[in-house]
Amino acid sequence: MSETRSARAVYVISVAAELAGMHPQTLRIYERRGLVQPARTQGGNRRYSDDDIDLLRRISELADQGMNLEGIKRVMELEQENAELRRQLETARHQAATAIAEAERRQRRDLVPLRQAVAVFGEHRRLFGRD
């Protein structure tokens, strides 16, 4: 399985910190608090991806708004849950549209035109010789 370019962990902590506009120690704190999980080399060194840098920038935005780390963690969990629910909703919408289209297709196929005949009611007495 090939990882996307944005998920490829290539930056050492000092470069990641500079790209995110933070001190390397801040990245270590965020990792300890569970806000970011950088990849590790076989030697145990941290490696950050572009996705990690974006995440660090989002953490910084929330911190600048006055949120503490627990609040930031909860907001990020809710954002992730929201994104997953939106993906599920889009999948459900697609499945519903497909099911509706299939039902309409079947309904059109099942409809058979009938010949229309005129039936005259109330004339039965004359047919049987009464009146």
> Residue 7 — very low, low, confident or very high, per pLDDT cuts 50/70/90?
confident
Identify which of 90, 88, 80, 7 has the alpha carbon closest to the alpha carbon of residue 50.
7
**11 phi and psi, to 5 degrees?**
-90, 135
Q: What is the pLDDT of residues 28-50, one digit of tens each?
A: 999 999 999 999 999 999 999 99
Q: What is the pLDDT of residue 111?
A: 62
Q: Are 61 and 72 contained in the same domain?
A: no
Q: Are 5 and 62 contained in the same domain?
A: yes
Lowest mean per-residue pLDDT among 4-18, 53-67, 91-105? 4-18
Q: Are 57 and 3 contained in the same domain?
A: yes
On whether residue 59 sits in a domain, the answer given is yes
Domain boundaries, position 87: 67-110
Q: What is the pLDDT of residues 19-29, one digit of tens each?
A: 999 999 999 99
Burial per residue of 46-64, b for 16 or more beta-carbon CB atoms within 10 angstroms, e otherwise: bbbbbbbbebbebbbebbe
On whether residue 45 sits in a domain, the answer given is yes
On whether residue 21 sits in a domain, the answer given is yes
Residue holding tokens 């949120």?
67
What is the count of structural domains for the chain?
Answer: 2
- pTM to 2 decimal places: 0.67
